[in-house]
C-alpha cells in the first residue's frame, strides 16, 4: 500500500487583531485573567462580509505554492469547518469554485476542534489506496461572528478567533510520509461544548425565543471540557506514538 505525505502547507489569518485589552470594555474580564487561564493575548477577527471560504482560499493557494503545485493539480478537496459560509452546500465546493476547478470531489468534515486531523486522515487514506494523487486538506473557521461578546458569553468569547490552514497531501516514497493517526469521539458529552441552534429539530430552524435566549451562541461546560481534554489528549498522543512505533524521546516538535 502506498504512503501519503504532506508536500506543502499554508495558513492565513485576517489582518484585524483583537487583544485581551480590546475585550475588557465588552465583558467582565482582564488581560491577566485570560493569560493566566489560556495563555492567549490576542486573536484575529474577520471584517464584516468575510467568510470561512475567503480565508481558506489564501491558505490553500499558499499551500499549493509551497508544494510547487497549481490548483489544477488538485483532484480532491477535504474541508474541515464548523462555521460554513452556508447551511449547504459545503465549503469544499465553494473553495473548488474559487480555485477555478470543476468536477473534482469535495468533502466537508464537521468535527470541530479535531476536524483538521479527521480531514488529514481521510486524505491519507485516499492517498494510500491510490484513489487520488493530490488532495487539498483545509481547516478554516470564522468564529468571531457567532460569539457572544458579553460577560454571559465570556467563557467562549475569550478563546476563539478566525483563521485557516491548509496542507497538500500526495503519494510518498517508501518510508516517508504520514506515519500514523488515530481518531476518537464520545457523543455522551456533546452538550458540554455545542451550538444548539439553528436546528433541524425546530420548524424554521430558528425561533425568536431561541434568539432571545441566546441559544444560537456556542456554549461550553468549561470544567468538564478541561477535565476530558487533559485526560484524553495525552492518551491519544501515546496511542498514535505506539501506532507509529515511536517513543516520546524521539519527538522533536
- Per-residue pLDDT of 95-151, as tens digits, reads 999 999 989 999 999 999 999 999 999 999 998 888 999 999 999 999 999 999 999
CB 40, CB 17: distance < 8 Å: no
Distance CA 251, CA 98 (A): 38
Strands (E), 190-246: 193-194, 219-220
Least Cα distance to 141 among 178, 171, 166 occurs for 166
Residues of the chain with pLDDT under 70: 1
pLDDT of 2 reads 75
Distance CA 12, CA 56 (A): 7
- Cβ atoms < 10 Å from Cβ of 85: 17
* Strand bridging mode 135-142 / 76-80: parallel
Q: How far is CA 239 from CA 100, 181, 248, in A?
A: 40, 9, 11
Q: Is 138 helix (H, G, I), strand (E, B) or coil?
A: strand
Distance CA 74, CA 56 (A): 15
The structure's pTM equals: 0.94
pLDDT of 50 reads 98
Residues ≥6 apart with Cβ < 8 Å to 51: 85, 142
CB 239, CB 180: distance < 8 Å: no
pLDDT of 1 reads 60
Q: Is 114 helix (H, G, I), strand (E, B) or coil?
A: helix
- At residue 69, what are phi and psi to the nearest 5 degrees? -120, 160
Amino acid at each position: 500500500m502506498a504512503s501519503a505525505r504532506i508536500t506543502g502547507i499554508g495558513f492565513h489569518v485576517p489582518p484585524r487583531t483583537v487583544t485581551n485589552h480590546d475585550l475588557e470594555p465588552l465583558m467582565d474580564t482582564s488581560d491577566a485573567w485570560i493569560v493566566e487561564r489560556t495563555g492567549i493575548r490576542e486573536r484575529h477577527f474577520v471584517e464584516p462580509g468575510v467568510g470561512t471560504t475567503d480565508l481558506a482560499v489564501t491558505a490553500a493557494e499558499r499551500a499549493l505554492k509551497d508544494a510547487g503545485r497549481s490548483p489544477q493539480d488538485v483532484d480532491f478537496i477535504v474541508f474541515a469547518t464548523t462555521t460554513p459560509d452556508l447551511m449547504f452546500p459545503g465549503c469544499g465546493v465553494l473553495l473548488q469554485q474559487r480555485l477555478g476547478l470543476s468536477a473534482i470531489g469535495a468533502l466537508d468534515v464537521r468535527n470541530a476542534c479535531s476536524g483538521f486531523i479527521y480531514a488529514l486522515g481521510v486524505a491519507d487514506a485516499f492517498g494510500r489506496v491510490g484513489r487520488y494523487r493530490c488532495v487539498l486538506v483545509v481547516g478554516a473557521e470564522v468564529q468571531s461572528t457567532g460569539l457572544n461578546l458579553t460577560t454571559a458569553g465570556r467563557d467562549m468569547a475569550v478563546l476563539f478567533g478566525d483563521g485557516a490552514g491548509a496542507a497538500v497531501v500526495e503519494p510518498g516514497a517508501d518510508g516517508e510520509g504520514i506515519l500514523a493517526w488515530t481518531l476518537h469521539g464520545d457523543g455522551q458529552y456533546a452538550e458540554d461544548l455545542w451550538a444548539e441552534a439553528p436546528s433541524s429539530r425546530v420548524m424554521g430552524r430558528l425561533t425568536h425565543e431561541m434568539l432571545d435566549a441566546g441559544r444560537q451562541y456556542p456554549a461550553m461546560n468549561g470544567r468538564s471540557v478541561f477535565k476530558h481534554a487533559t485526560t484524553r489528549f495525552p492518551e491519544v498522543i501515546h496511542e498514535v506514538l505506539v501506532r507509529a512505533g515511536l517513543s516520546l524521546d524521539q519527538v522533536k516538535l
